[in-house]
Chains A and B, each alone.
Chain A
Amino acid sequence: MNTQPTWAIETSGLVKVYNGTRAVDGLDLSVPTGLVYGILGPNGSGKSTTIRMLATLLRPDGGTARVFGHDVTDEPDTVRRRISVTGQYASVDEGLTGTENLVMMGRLQGYSWARARERAAELIDGFGLGDARDRLLKTYSGGMRRRLDIAASIVVTPDLLFLDEPTTGLDPRSRNQVWDIVRALVNAGTTVLLTTQYLDEADQLADRVAVIDHGRMIAEGTTGELKSSLGSNVLRLRLHDARSRAEAERLLSAELGVTVHRDSDPAALTARIDDPRQAMRALAELSRTPLEVRSFSLGQSSLDEVFLALTGHPAEDRHAEETAEEERAA
């Protein structure tokens, strides 16, 4: 199509109100075509609500949203012909087999029975679900279901694919598979809008990222831009004794010349720094005091730290999930 607008998605002042709370609160989003755009935000920040409005599933309470230049409220059918959605919770039919789910999707998008069966078989094989093709969806594992869900979204390759937390709850291997799928799609020309709670995922996949909190955008840019605006490194420190935290905090902030944050962990401190050598000097200084350090690390900002830096409050629920994730990965 040669009249392709440059923006896959353009929203202006997008609002959704649920019983008085503004789930999405004046969101201005511009997603260029042909790349992966990430929406990063903690639980309840309005990621799913935004996707549901863009995908014509929810009517906005204010503002406008256009997909490839078409208003989602005025021209839902035109929008629907260009998009596909993989929701946060499986949008597949539990009572049908994997193959039947895909055949149904093909039929509903205008394929003949024969072509729909052919596409279903291709996708089942391509997604490595061959052994489960004739099993009911309710017997699928979370990762298999996720893959089938994405397969169902690309029976006809969409111009714009919405993926709502595509890898939450997946093990690293399944997550890699999903990432591969996304990359293959983008290579084929699809624009992908994905939401995630993981900075790592946004970093790996997304060309641009919007960070949202309480339904508002608090930062936007390439992942590189975001990180450099946050300071490139984070020093994390855990003391032996929580009671010595105040003293360690004083010493570190004097030595580093930046604000040192207190974690929710009463014995932990974090600080954002530009140069690793600063950290080394500060740690050396600390070792000359009687304060006992249990562990320290120097690394990139986690979502928690992005949030702390951007909003002044931590991303809730993140800690528990991350620990569970690490346990699974181990």
Chain B
Amino acid sequence: MTTSPDTVDSTTAAGGRLRTVLSAGERPARATAVSATLTHLWRAMMAFKHFPVQLIDIVLMPLIFLLMFTYLFGGAFADSTEEYLQFYLPGVTVQAVVMMTVYTGTSLNTDIHKGIFDRFRTLPFWQPATLAGSLLGDVLRYVVALATTVSLGLLLGFRPDGGFLGVLAAVLVLIVFGFSVSWIFAALGVVASEPERVSGTSMIVLYPLLFMSNIFVMPETMPGWMQAVVDANPMSHAATASRELMHGTAGFWDVGLVLCVSAGLVAVFAPLTMRLYRNKNAH
């Protein structure tokens, strides 16, 4: 190979500089599980910072639902659209968060097949930190979705009797709920061969769950068996808790139930997802 003299000079210089930046012998102690998780959370935050446009996609869906249901069906479902808005807004926030959790599954699936994950897998840190960090990062999406939905609601005439604190409490409970549900879709995201599979499967499960709940209408006019389904549906519990917190009528049990369901979901799906991820590595 022919190399011009200046090429030789510059690469030799690079070689010289390189020798000085090798971390000769320095070997830090293994990163703790917490610090590895926080680093992955930081990775998710930086990715949002560099590509904020993705947040727009996230907020559009709940806004469309809010406008559509309030003005299209609101008058039919309740005495007036304003009255329906008071009922529907706390429900649509549940819907907003739960639909966001599907994004968690699809984006995890896309992410997992990228080259960077090979590198993660060869580093000696607590491997589930990769999943925990990115799921925590997705909490940001829930916050954004909730903030825009509630803000638009307020503009349209939503008047929560629970005041600011009531709304804030509802938002916090929904974030916990969303984070818990996201582990279900994370499990799907880990096993699925492609992101379309994740979103396809998720929507088939999710839409019936969303509609067979008390998010849109109360179940009084439904047939008995359907009422049973609605009452058992965790989406209904979340919507009830959200409604009661926003309107200042929250009972201890309704909120407690949602938190228990959330804890249960995490207890089952977090270890399952981590296990699936670990086994996926071992092919």
Contact of A193 with B by CB under 8 A: no
Given contacts A91-B116, A125-B17, A188-B19, contact A85 B122 (CB under 8 A): yes
Shortest distance from the beta carbon of A164 to any chain B beta carbon, whole Å? 10
Chain A residues, CB < 8 A from B21: 122-123, 125-126
Given contacts A108-B39, A180-B11, A180-B14, contact A55 B28 (CB under 8 A): no
Flag if A95 contacts B119 (CB, 8 Å).
no
- B25-51 CB mask vs A (1 if < 8 Å, else 0) is 111111100011001001100110011
Per DSSP, are chain A's interface residues mostly helix, strand or loop, or mixed? mixed
Chain A residues, CB < 8 A from B283: 58-59
Contact of B123 with A by CB under 8 A: yes
CB nearest neighbor in A for B130: A108
Given contacts A95-B51, A180-B14, contact A115 B42 (CB under 8 A): no
Contact of B3 with A by CB under 8 A: yes
Flag if A107 contacts B39 (CB, 8 Å).
yes
Chain A residues, CB < 8 A from B19: 184, 187-188
A7-15, A169-177, A252-260, A314-322 - the one binding chain B: A169-177
Contact of A329 with B by CB under 8 A: yes
Shortest distance from the beta carbon of B251 to any chain A beta carbon, whole Å? 44
Contact of A194 with B by CB under 8 A: no
B125's partner among A58, A91, A108, A115 (CB-CB below 8 A) is: A108
- A38-69 CB mask vs B (1 if < 8 Å, else 0) is 00000000000000000111110000000000
Given contacts A80-B124, A96-B50, A157-B22, contact A110 B30 (CB under 8 A): yes
Contact of A240 with B by CB under 8 A: no
**Cα A188 to Cα B18 with chains together (Å):** 11
Flag if A104 contacts B31 (CB, 8 Å).
no
A148-156, A207-215, A243-251, A305-313 - the one binding chain B: A148-156
**Cα A125 to Cα B114 with chains together (Å):** 26
Contact of A84 with B by CB under 8 A: yes
A127's partner among B7, B18, B43 (CB-CB below 8 A) is: B18
- A76-87 CB mask vs B (1 if < 8 Å, else 0) is 010011011101
CB nearest neighbor in B for A55: B122
Flag if B122 contacts A93 (CB, 8 Å).
no
Chain A residues, CB < 8 A from B14: 126-128, 177, 180
CB nearest neighbor in B for A153: B119
Per DSSP, are chain B's interface residues mostly helix, strand or loop, or mixed? helix
Contact of B155 with A by CB under 8 A: no
Flag if B122 contacts A83 (CB, 8 Å).
yes
B18's partner among A97, A109, A126, A329 (CB-CB below 8 A) is: A126
Contact of A298 with B by CB under 8 A: no
Contact of B53 with A by CB under 8 A: no
CB nearest neighbor in A for B6: A173
Contact of A23 with B by CB under 8 A: no
Flag if A188 contacts B24 (CB, 8 Å).
yes
Shortest distance from the beta carbon of B70 to any chain A beta carbon, whole Å? 36
Contact of A140 with B by CB under 8 A: no
Contact of A132 with B by CB under 8 A: no
- A183-213 CB mask vs B (1 if < 8 Å, else 0) is 1110111000000000010000000000000
CB nearest neighbor in A for B28: A110
Flag if A185 contacts B123 (CB, 8 Å).
no
- B244-283 CB mask vs A (1 if < 8 Å, else 0) is 0000000000000000000000000000000000000111
Shortest distance from the beta carbon of B109 to any chain A beta carbon, whole Å? 16
Shortest distance from the beta carbon of B28 to any chain A beta carbon, whole Å? 4
Given contacts A91-B116, A95-B47, A100-B46, contact A109 B22 (CB under 8 A): no
Flag if B43 contacts A119 (CB, 8 Å).
no
Flag if B15 contacts A183 (CB, 8 Å).
yes
Contact of B115 with A by CB under 8 A: yes
Flag if B121 contacts A57 (CB, 8 Å).
yes
Closest 5 CB pairs of A and B: A126-B21, A110-B28, A180-B15, A91-B115, A107-B39
16 chain-A/chain-B pairs, Cβ below 8 angstroms: A57-B121, A59-B282, A84-B122, A91-B119, A95-B47, A95-B50, A96-B47, A97-B46, A104-B39, A122-B21, A136-B50, A156-B23, A172-B7, A176-B7, A184-B18, A188-B22
4 new A-B pairs (CB below 8 Å) besides A93-B43, A107-B35, A115-B28? A107-B36, A108-B31, A109-B125, A183-B15
